[in-house]
Structure 1
Amino acid sequence: MSKLDQLESNYDVVIIGGGWAGLTLARQLKLNDDALTILVVEANTEFRAKVGEATVEMTGHYFMKQLGLVNYLYRNHLPKNGLRFFYDNPEHTLPLTEMSEHGTTSIPPHPAFQIDRARLESDLVDMNRANSIEVIQGVKAKNLNIQPGDELHSIELMEDGASGVVNARWLVDCSGRNRVAKKHKKLTRVENVPKHFSAWGRFKNIQDIDSMGDMNWRKKAFGRFLSTNHFSGDGYWVWFIPLSGGYTSVGIVGENSKFDKPPTKKQDFLDFLLAYRAISELLEGAELIDFEAWGQLAYRADEFIFEDRWATSGFSSMFLDPLFSGGGDMIALFNDHICKYIVADISDNNRDEAQQRLAKELPIANQVVTEFYQGLYAHVANVYPVIDSAELCSPLLAYNTAAYFLESAWDYMSGNYLDQEYWLRKSYLRRGYMALELILQRLLVETAKELKAQNRYFRRNSEGFFESGADHYKYFVYLMGTHGRDGWRIDLRVKLWVEVFLSVVQARLDLPKLANRMVVQQAIILPDLLQKPNMNEADLNWLLEKLSIKLTDLVNEDIADPVSVVVSEESFHTDTIEVMDLAGSYSNKELAEVNKKAKSIWVQTQEYIAIPSMVPVFLAFARSQPDSIMDSVIDQREAMPTAELDSAHADSEVV
């Protein structure tokens, strides 16, 4: 008997595709409404390894809180020890232990996991069947007949030449890049997305990164192998992701424009990896088990859920880039919304009201997800132009991680993405944050050009430093998901941006400790940065004058007769400053004491949280941004000339 003969005629929900997105959605729906009849149709009979093994905190929260998979994940998959980046010299000849490194010292407090995709999907099939969800494998969905309004959809299924039809109140396409629903409506496009390729495979017998190096190197961090480890080059990066079955996923993501011939063939892939000293050390004695490549990773869509009661999720909807392991976060957002509307719709006996709710709320749901995509893209696009410079990339990663925790992950954990009233009320904040990211990206691009021209771009890569972003999120990481702290979050978010902006200027102008000097943080504040979004050598005298005035004011607070203090470029390198007794009020000994006091103030450093609050300034700036900024071309290298961009941002309202 064919599998098709065993199916019911009608289901509440039919899900096309039994991968991560489809199987988790089925489980989520059943957990929210046990009465739902659900069919999952999967074309393959066995599950294979797939790209998308690494997750981050939103996805971890989704797996544990929405799906109840805490026990399962810890028993069958690996906890993730954050993102870890290693910085090499341009020849890629540094041994691993001499590279500068950005990463965690220990596993972060909010769980994320390294997922063995084949195992997860196979286990989810068993779990779903145990929960009375029908899952059929080896069956293809050939034709979708999507009906308007409240009419049943019909789906033609094929198995070994046999065919059958099932009907559904809701239809969800989770068929991956095959996108079965594209026959009904073309949704995806490749405008305003990264033009990146990827090639990857699973290896066995990878060398143990935590057994390498001497004791001092091993003591810097716990469990490096549990991290998603990144090795970077000009416009590309290589990942190492451990899997619970003993394999390690290794892959390349790169900008197509940086390669004459992207390494998307198996031998080219291996040759590329082995040309990198540190990577070749990790791969010594390893065996490649399987291989896959995509010439174009990213695509996007404007909609994923429709009033005619069908939707898409996972790769069927849109995909950005794996740099920050954000694919699972997108699935969490898709599935949360789809689950919300299916459960509410099917339980509503007033069909007119149900239709009106969909018509009113689904356009907003689509906007929520597309703006999330844009926001994630803004952070990704900021990193690629500087991904192989420790001096520029490391502080940017600390900023991105803290901003993700403070904004995206916090909002997800608190349910704000599903609260449309809240989400609409905060639209001006998203516009303001987007404007800040575009300013920062342009500054990074221009700074990278200058550092390369001055042969300073790679100067910190071989220092062997270890930096972590934990000092940035330690103030709020245990509060994530709580309500009633919006003003505080805005304050910290803006301070984080000010610090990373100053960190880039610090590298650009070669002014050590600029970003964390107390005097700088008090003198150069948000309005200054918004008025000088491309701060460069031409602004140096202005900068030094501002610092001299601020340091003079601070010194004069506690002395009888005023002095004048001068900050110079040399002050950043030697901590020497010049104190002038304009009225001749001090003896040489007394002036020396004043100088000592001035120097003690000058050398003071502090964390970003002590930066003066500029919430009213930011709110005015945010409200001045047009709605259209959320549709901006994200990669500013493709957008507008520097002068035009600077002028546009300088004209923004600043209080």
Structure 2
Amino acid sequence: MNHLTTLNQNYDVLIIGAGWAGLTLARQLKLENPDLNILQLEASTQFKAKVGEATVEIAGHYFIHRLGLVNYLYRNHLPKNGLRFFFDSQNHDLDLDKMSEHGTTSIPPHPAFQLDRARFEKDLVEMNRVQGINLLLGAKVTKLAVDEKGDHTVNFNYQGQSHKVKTKWLIDASGRASLLAKQQKLHHRNDVPKNSAAWARFSNVTEIDSLGSKKWQKMVNGRFLSTIHFTGPGYWIWVIPLSGGFTSIGIDCDKNVMANPPLKQAQFVAFLKQHKGLWQLLENANLEDFEAWGQLAYRGKKYISEQRWATTGFAAMFLDPLFSGGGDMIALTNDAISKTICDDFAFSSVEHANQSLMKKVPILNQQAHEFYQGLYTYVNNSNPILDCAQLCSPIIAYNTAIYFLEAAWDYMAGNFIDLEYWQKKDYIRRGYLALEKVLNKQTLATAKILKEQGRYFDRNHEGFFESGAELYKYFVFNMGQAGKDGWRIDLHTKLWVDIYLKVTESRLNLPKFASRRLVQECLNLPKILSMDTFSQENLPELFALINQKLTEELQLLTEHTVLVEISEQSFSTGMVMVQVVDCTLSEADMKKLKLQANNIFNSEQEYIAMPFMVPYFLQFCRKTDENIMSNPILSLETC
């Protein structure tokens, strides 16, 4: 319902658009400064279903701790049970319970939600009006005039009449219409994925937790609450439950791989039907609505200006639905916009306010750029191998752990809005990005070898279940705590070495390569970063190091002089060759010595016990190219 409202001539803040980015920003501003006079204009009069239903932990924290929506969300929307990936055969002919699976067993400790966008936005409209925000539905902006001093003018039509108002702060939250962003020519598509998407809402979808064997059902407490992914070459399919009984299903395509993505409704349905396991959910379902976008990703040159305007949501930038990062970007930018506006009104002097903006705004734009770069890096490392269980499952586990350890932790700790803290860590972020580029190269080379050797789909049909919880169990309940920076760097570098070794294990086809203590100690962070990639050609050097270390450790257990040698077969058999140089041992003593050598070689440990490499990594960070954050992410050939 529209409210007949007396319009003022001047406003503190005017927000164009009432999607969830604009609505949450308006609510946040009013919560932080109830005296702000806010006008919000939305061209539509009805709220319809939209993409962007799935959120992750930063957005969840934003909803609960910035906006105070905890009761509302749990009463009206669905909690999210993490990300879930099903790995199908090359021909997509496996039943659901026969596919290998990566996902959580229960809802993670830090909340995230599956949003019914239409309901969420309709409800926020009413909440915002109760707060005293002047929110007009059916108000169509006809003209914008940006003033360098922050005295902006907005013309709009509402209820058959033309209106003109002024505002100190102008916010573009108009979605893909991007009224202000287009006027300022902010958007570009340099160094972004060439991705498209088509999606629909379905009713009467079969409950995934009713399928499969009893054993399969008992493995997880509610698969349907997850954002479920089915994957194939150059695409992935999402399945997202909504509180109203509908299910959002979409196809995200890499146009470099899929020249003709299914962007028409008939093509879309036919494409879904090619996937046996997915179609088990849809064979009795009804398609309710459909939409498609030919290109998803774009960047914004900036999202906030010293001239007192800003953009948020789709009006600011967008990357890809993978990892549900759009909501996180909204949380990050809304926090910055809200704090900047509230700080601006707190100054008694215009001169001091302007000086603050000149100092703060470039940092905030750089922060958003780096967040986009970081998310793009993880998307770029994952997209090419989403349909390969043996690579994708450990990489998704690693990505999740790093997200908890870095971005989500920093957000919960308030480190993004502490600009002094954030700037001090710039060289560390450069180092982390450099590590991801090294991992990307190793991963793509490994995927190519797996395809050449016919091993790419080997683990897809195993029916394994992996959660990745063993990676983040050491710190998930510490997230947001201050004073843990050194510990986090230690964990991050160890997690990175762990995933590099796991990818290399797949490349070399050497069982338990990554978890063996001697491999971890000999192929450590400095060693990895000293080479281009690790391949079969590097094994002799690594084996020599392992032989030396194994010999030294075995020598401590015997008074005799020994030599130990491993081979590729040792990784399969668990046996090493032992030679006693200075005498001949009895058969029993020799057997005992070989057993000791085998035990040392077969000793495994978790990543947490790897060597401490923080001092080395900090040196590496300081030597990393200062321009790495500005360099293209997609600089390597995809496999």
TM normalised by structure 2 equals 0.98
User: Are the aligned partners of 2:26 and 2:128 in contact in 1 as well (CA < 8 Å)?
Assistant: yes
Matched, 1:256 2:255: yes
Deviates more, 1:258-267 or 1:77-86: 258-267
Matched, 1:453 2:452: yes
| Counterpart position of 1:278 | 277
Question: Distance between the aligned counterparts of 1:559 and 1:371, measured in 2?
Answer: 55
Secondary structure of 1:197's counterpart equals: strand
Question: Distance between the aligned counterparts of 1:96 and 1:42, measured in 2?
Answer: 43
Question: Distance between the aligned counterparts of 2:414 and 2:349, measured in 1?
Answer: 26
| 1:52-71 matches, cutoff 5 A | 52-71=52-71
| Counterpart position of 2:267 | 268
Question: Distance between the aligned counterparts of 2:553 and 2:213, measured in 1?
Answer: 46
Matched, 1:371 2:374: no
User: Are the aligned partners of 1:100 and 1:463 in contact in 2 as well (CA < 8 Å)?
Assistant: yes
Q: Deviations over 1:575-597 (max 9, x none)?
A: 11111112225322111101111
| Counterpart position of 2:509 | 510
Question: Distance between the aligned counterparts of 2:291 and 2:549, measured in 1?
Answer: 58
Question: Distance between the aligned counterparts of 2:637 and 2:292, measured in 1?
Answer: 25
Unaligned runs of 5+ in 1: 643-655
Question: Distance between the aligned counterparts of 2:601 and 2:281, measured in 1?
Answer: 45
Question: Residue 95 of structure 2 aligns to which amino acid in structure 1?
Answer: P
User: Are the aligned partners of 2:172 and 2:181 in contact in 1 as well (CA < 8 Å)?
Assistant: no
User: Are the aligned partners of 1:77 and 1:243 in contact in 2 as well (CA < 8 Å)?
Assistant: yes
Matched, 1:104 2:104: yes
Deviates more, 1:506-515 or 1:537-546: 537-546
Question: Distance between the aligned counterparts of 2:36 and 2:209, measured in 1?
Answer: 48
Matched, 1:172 2:206: no
| Counterpart position of 2:541 | 542
Deviation at 1:261? 1.3
Secondary structure of 1:516's counterpart equals: coil
Matched, 1:240 2:274: no
Matched, 1:489 2:477: no
| Counterpart position of 2:351 | 352
Unaligned runs of 5+ in 2: none
Question: Distance between the aligned counterparts of 1:387 and 1:324, measured in 2?
Answer: 12
Deviates more, 1:199-208 or 1:593-602: 593-602
Deviation at 1:533? 3.5
Question: Distance between the aligned counterparts of 1:442 and 1:524, measured in 2?
Answer: 17
Matched, 1:132 2:127: no
User: Are the aligned partners of 2:201 and 2:290 in contact in 1 as well (CA < 8 Å)?
Assistant: yes
Deviation at 1:368? 0.6
Secondary structure of 1:155's counterpart equals: strand
| Counterpart position of 2:157 | 158
| Counterpart position of 1:647 | none
Matched, 1:90 2:77: no
Question: Distance between the aligned counterparts of 1:533 and 1:63, measured in 2?
Answer: 43
Deviation at 1:161? 4.8
Deviates more, 1:601-610 or 1:184-193: 601-610
Question: Distance between the aligned counterparts of 1:183 and 1:197, measured in 2?
Answer: 21
Deviation at 1:278? 0.6
Deviation at 1:446? 1.0
Deviation at 1:529? 0.5
| Counterpart position of 1:436 | 435
User: Are the aligned partners of 2:208 and 2:224 in contact in 1 as well (CA < 8 Å)?
Assistant: yes
Q: Deviations over 1:44-81 (max 9, x none)?
A: 00101111000000000000000000000000000000
Matched, 1:30 2:30: yes
Deviation at 1:3? 7.1
Secondary structure of 2:55's counterpart equals: coil
| Counterpart position of 1:188 | 187
Matched, 1:122 2:95: no
Q: Deviations over 1:469-507 (max 9, x none)?
A: 111000000000000010000000000000000001100
Deviates more, 1:305-314 or 1:566-575: 566-575
Question: Residue 99 of structure 2 aligns to which amino acid in structure 1?
Answer: M
RMSD of Structure 2 on Structure 1 (CA): 1.3
| Counterpart position of 1:653 | none
Question: Distance between the aligned counterparts of 1:499 and 1:636, measured in 2?
Answer: 24
Deviation at 1:184? 3.1
Matched, 1:16 2:16: yes
Question: Distance between the aligned counterparts of 1:496 and 1:562, measured in 2?
Answer: 37
| Counterpart position of 2:602 | 603
User: Are the aligned partners of 2:560 and 2:583 in contact in 1 as well (CA < 8 Å)?
Assistant: no
| Counterpart position of 1:143 | 143
Secondary structure of 2:487's counterpart equals: helix
Deviation at 1:407? 0.5
User: Are the aligned partners of 1:28 and 1:339 in contact in 2 as well (CA < 8 Å)?
Assistant: yes
User: Are the aligned partners of 2:170 and 2:309 in contact in 1 as well (CA < 8 Å)?
Assistant: yes
User: Are the aligned partners of 2:188 and 2:301 in contact in 1 as well (CA < 8 Å)?
Assistant: no
| Counterpart position of 2:463 | 464
Question: Distance between the aligned counterparts of 2:269 and 2:628, measured in 1?
Answer: 42
TM normalised by structure 1 equals 0.96
Question: Distance between the aligned counterparts of 1:17 and 1:410, measured in 2?
Answer: 30
Question: Distance between the aligned counterparts of 1:3 and 1:466, measured in 2?
Answer: 53
CA, structure 1 residues 154+638, in 2 after alignment: closer, same or farther (shift >3 Å)? farther
Deviation at 1:541? 1.5
Secondary structure of 1:257's counterpart equals: coil
Question: Distance between the aligned counterparts of 1:205 and 1:602, measured in 2?
Answer: 54
| Counterpart position of 1:649 | none
Deviation at 1:221? 1.4
Secondary structure of 1:240's counterpart equals: strand
Secondary structure of 1:305's counterpart equals: coil
Question: Distance between the aligned counterparts of 1:313 and 1:182, measured in 2?
Answer: 10
Deviation at 1:160? 5.7
User: Are the aligned partners of 1:399 and 1:496 in contact in 2 as well (CA < 8 Å)?
Assistant: yes
Question: Distance between the aligned counterparts of 2:185 and 2:288, measured in 1?
Answer: 35
| Counterpart position of 2:325 | 326
Secondary structure of 1:260's counterpart equals: coil
Q: Deviations over 1:317-374 (max 9, x none)?
A: 0001110000000000110000001001112111100000000111001101110100
Question: Distance between the aligned counterparts of 2:85 and 2:489, measured in 1?
Answer: 28
Question: Distance between the aligned counterparts of 1:273 and 1:554, measured in 2?
Answer: 56
Deviates more, 1:432-441 or 1:547-556: 547-556
User: Are the aligned partners of 1:158 and 1:164 in contact in 2 as well (CA < 8 Å)?
Assistant: yes
Question: Distance between the aligned counterparts of 2:567 and 2:204, measured in 1?
Answer: 55
Secondary structure of 1:154's counterpart equals: strand
| 1:394-409 matches, cutoff 5 A | 394-409=393-408
Question: Distance between the aligned counterparts of 1:568 and 1:516, measured in 2?
Answer: 17
